[in-house]
Amino acid sequence: MSEDLLLELRDLSVSIVGKKETLPIVKGIDLHIPRGSIVGLVGESGCGKSMTAKSINNILPPFARVTGGSIIWRTEASGEVDLALLKEKEMRKKCGTEIAMVFQEPMTSLNPLMQVGEQIKEVLTIHGVERDNKKAKDRVIEMLSKVGIAEPALRYNAWPHELSGGMRQRVMIAMAMICQPKLLIADEPTTALDVTIEAQILSLIKELCRNNSMSALVITHNMGVVSTLCDYVYVMYLGSVVESAPVKELFNNPCHPYTRGLLSSIPHVGDNPEFLHTIPGNVPDMKKHFKGCDFCLRCSDDIKQCFFEKPALTETGAGHFVRCHRSLGA
Amino acid sequence: MSSSSPSNKETVMRKVPLFSRMPILPPSVTVPASIILLIILLALLVPIVSPYDALRQNLTERLSAPGTAHILGTDALGRDCFTRIFYGTRISLFVALIPTAFAVLIGMAAGIAAAFFGKAADALVTWLSDVTLAFPGMLLAMVIMYSFGGSFSSIVISIVIMEWGSIARIVRSVTLSILENEYILAARSIGVKRFNIIIRHIIPNLIPTLIVLFTLNIPASILSESSLSFLGIGIQPPEVSLGLMVNESRTLLFNKPHLVLGPAGMIMLLVLSFNFLGDALRDRFDQEV
Distance CA B125, CA B113 (A): 8
Q: Which residues between 102 and 131 in chain A have a beta carbon less than 8 angstroms from any beta carbon of chain B?
A: 103-105, 108-114, 122-123, 126-127
Distance CA B171, CA B176 (A): 8
Residue spans of alpha helices (H) in chain B: 4-15, 18-21, 27-49, 81-116, 118-134, 137-148, 152-179, 182-189, 194-196, 203-230, 242-249, 257-288
CB contact under 8 A, A97 and B191: yes
pLDDT tens-digit readout, B172-214: 999 999 998 888 888 888 888 888 899 989 999 999 899 999 9
Q: How many pairs of residues across A and B have Cβ atoms under 8 Å apart?
A: 83
- The pLDDT of residue B2: 42
Residue in A closest to B185 by C-alpha: A59
> CA dihedral defined by B141, B145, B147, B152, rounded to 10 degrees?
130
Smallest CA–CA distance, residue B125 to chain A, in Å, is: 19
Please check whether residue B183 touches A, CB under 8 A. yes
Q: Which domains does chain A have, with CATH numbers?
A: 2-240 (3.40.50.300), 243-328 (no CATH)
What is the DSSP annotation of A70-104? EEEEEETTTEEEEGGGS-HHHHHHHBTTTEEEE-S
CB contact under 8 A, B204 and A114: yes
Count Cα atoms within 13 angstroms, Cβ side, for A279: 23
Smallest CA–CA distance, residue A101 to chain B, in Å, is: 6
Cβ within 8 Å of residue B132, ≥6 positions away: B140, B161, B162, B164, B165
Distance CA B149, CA B287 (A): 45
Residue A243 three-state SS: strand
ipTM over 0.90: no
CB contact under 8 A, B186 and A110: yes
3-state secondary structure B121-181: HHHHHHHHHHHHHHCCHHHHHHHHHHHHCCCHHHHHHHHHHHHHHHHHHHHHHHHHHHHCC
- The pLDDT of residue B288: 41
- The pLDDT of residue B264: 92
Integer CA distances (angstroms), A150 to A102, A135, B2, B75, in order: 21, 20, 10, 74
For chain B, which residues score pLDDT lower than 50?
1-12, 287-289
Please check whether residue B1 touches A, CB under 8 A. yes
Using a CB-CB cut-off of 8 Å, the residues of chain B touching A150 are 1
Using a CB-CB cut-off of 8 Å, the residues of chain B touching A112 are 183, 205
CB A296 within 8 A of CB A302: yes
CA-nearest of B197, B90, B9, B10 to A88 is B197
CB contact under 8 A, B196 and A126: yes
Distance CA B32, CA A231 (A): 65
pLDDT tens track, chain A, 330 positions? 455 889 999 999 999 888 888 888 898 899 999 988 999 999 888 888 888 998 998 888 888 889 989 999 988 877 888 888 888 888 888 888 889 998 888 888 898 889 999 999 988 888 888 888 899 999 999 999 988 888 999 999 999 989 988 888 889 989 888 888 999 999 888 887 888 888 888 888 898 888 888 999 999 988 888 998 999 999 999 888 999 999 999 999 998 988 988 888 887 777 666 777 788 887 777 777 778 888 888 887 778 888 888 888 888 888 899 998 887 664
Using a CB-CB cut-off of 8 Å, the residues of chain A touching B196 are 126
Please check whether residue B120 touches A, CB under 8 A. no
Please check whether residue B188 touches A, CB under 8 A. yes
- The pLDDT of residue B89: 92
Q: Could you list the beta-strand ranges (E) of chain A.
A: 5-17, 22-34, 38-42, 64-75, 79-82, 99-102, 183-187, 215-220, 232-237, 240-246, 314-317, 320-322
Please check whether residue A85 touches B, CB under 8 A. no
Give Cα B67 distance to the centre of its chain. 34
Smallest CA–CA distance, residue B226 to chain A, in Å, is: 39
**Gyration radius of chain B over CA positions:** 24
Residue in B closest to A60 by C-alpha: B185
Please check whether residue A37 touches B, CB under 8 A. no
CB contact under 8 A, A111 and B190: no
Identify which of B13, B182, B191 has the shortest CB distance to residue A109. Answer: B182
Identify which of A59, A92, A112 has the shortest CB distance to residue B185. Answer: A59
Report the b/e string of A198-236 with b at 16+ CB within 10 A.
bebbbebbbebbeeeebbbbbbbbbbebbbebbbbbbbb
DSSP A304: G
Using a CB-CB cut-off of 8 Å, the residues of chain A touching B117 are none
- The pLDDT of residue B22: 65
Q: Which residues between 268 and 287 in chain A have a beta carbon less than 8 angstroms from any beta carbon of chain B?
A: none
Please check whether residue B8 touches A, CB under 8 A. no
Identify which of A62, A95, A111 has the shortest CB distance to residue B183. Answer: A111
Q: Which domains does chain B have, with CATH numbers?
A: 29-37+73-288 (1.10.3720.10)
Distance CA B43, CA B53 (A): 13
Using a CB-CB cut-off of 8 Å, the residues of chain B touching A156 are none
Integer CA distances (angstroms), B172 to A72, A187, B134, B205, B266, in order: 37, 29, 18, 13, 35
Please check whether residue A83 touches B, CB under 8 A. no
Q: Helices B242-249 and B203-230: crossing angle, nearest 10°? A: 20
Distance CA A15, CA A67 (A): 6
Using a CB-CB cut-off of 8 Å, the residues of chain A touching B13 are 154
- The pLDDT of residue B287: 44
CB contact under 8 A, A112 and B205: yes
CA-nearest of A2, A7, A74 to A41 is A7
DSSP H or E segment with residue A210:
helix A195-212
Identify which of B6, B193, B205 has the shortest CB distance to residue A126. Answer: B193
